[in-house]
Structure 1
């Protein structure tokens, strides 16, 4: 089982570079737990946001790091920079390999799509099972970095995809529908209409390139 935190920092314009350097220092400090996996800046969607993905081997490690972050006088080293900080905890789909930096996984962007779907009551396990069946052929078109279920807030799951270009994203999605391999058959029946998609690009410090 693998756990993740996806944090969103809303930043003033022109501060992304400074914030990214501070995030890297905070997430790799000697007392930090978990692993910095991705640090992106939004390009399409809600702008001026930095998305930070960290991975953990246990729920206890995730909770300890969240406590450290929230107790800090400057969370992510950006206390004097960000306008808003949100932290959301997730559990990875149990059958998926854990997310890893590009140097280890071989998965490259630089276009990353972060998609979040609301889940209807009772729909979590059916969604996980359908993805296990349908994702392997879908990944022949483009890799899924991670799929994970939220542990807090509204019932939902988030999936992150990597593409070399926006055109490649459009082609992969069109081909998947044309081939009948995506979305998973019956999958939408378990989802609400609360769906959000964000396109983000790696910052200089992001291990996912």
Structure 2
């Protein structure tokens, strides 16, 4: 896949449980581009948010679908529940396999880091160097960089439980395979959300 989109839907309380079929239908409607890959309700981090991951074969398809979403009076079928909507268009790190549906969770951690100016190239290099060791410990679902807005990276890691997450993250530091040496290019602007799959999510 050439592009991904991570949509963040800020919603009224309790909306996530009502959005499954509506969200799926919006992503599968006539004229829609791309493929629904994941949909999560935030459980730890900023609450009352639904995060939707879609994949696109081309940058043109991603741009067209962003236009359709922004023009919609009912984006993701969530119009009556929305208090905010942001769309991040993302390019995958080189050499990583495309995201495919599967049961890898049910805990998904979505992390985003803003980079210092000039930090993208060394970040890509540092991750390429460090990922073979890190992914021996646990699966990386996705690593991307934003193609618009502030220079930043977005990555998603699935875990079987919060306890497994804590254990594997500590182990990666203990054995020295993480963080990558390019971490010096990160700013303090970092966010992490633990998401739980909605019933329509192809990633569970």
TM interval, short-chain normalised: over 0.9
Alignment match of 2:187 (pick from 167, 192, 196): 192
Q: SS state of the match for residue 144, structure 1?
A: coil
**Alpha-carbon deviation of 1:30?**
2.8
TM-score (norm 2): 0.97
**Alpha-carbon deviation of 1:19?**
1.6
Is contact 1:2–1:94 with CA below 8 Å preserved after alignment?
Answer: no
Aligned residue for 1:2? 2
Aligned residue for 1:58? 58
Pair 1:165 & 2:161 matched: yes
Alignment match of 1:119 (pick from 69, 94, 115): 115
Equivalences for 1:127-206 in 2 at 5 Å?
127-184=123-180, 186-206=181-201
TM-score (norm 1): 0.94
Output the CA distance in 2 between the equivalents of 1:156 and 1:207. 26
Q: SS state of the match for residue 61, structure 2?
A: helix
Please list every run of at least 4 consecutive aligned residues from structure 1 whose deviation after the TM superposition is greater than 6 angstroms.
none
| CA deviation profile, 1:10-61 (whole Å, cap 9, x unmatched) | 1111221222221111011232100001100000000010000000111100
Output the CA distance in 2 between the equivalents of 1:20 and 1:83. 18
User: What are the ranges of 5 or more consecutive residues in structure 2 without an aligned counterpart?
Assistant: none
Is contact 1:39–1:205 with CA below 8 Å preserved after alignment?
Answer: yes
User: What are the ranges of 5 or more consecutive residues in structure 1 without an aligned counterpart?
Assistant: none
Q: SS state of the match for residue 83, structure 1?
A: strand
Aligned residue for 1:74? 74
Q: In the comparison of the two structures, how many residue pairs are matched?
A: 204
Q: SS state of the match for residue 100, structure 1?
A: coil
Is contact 2:15–2:48 with CA below 8 Å preserved after alignment?
Answer: no
**Alpha-carbon deviation of 1:195?**
0.8
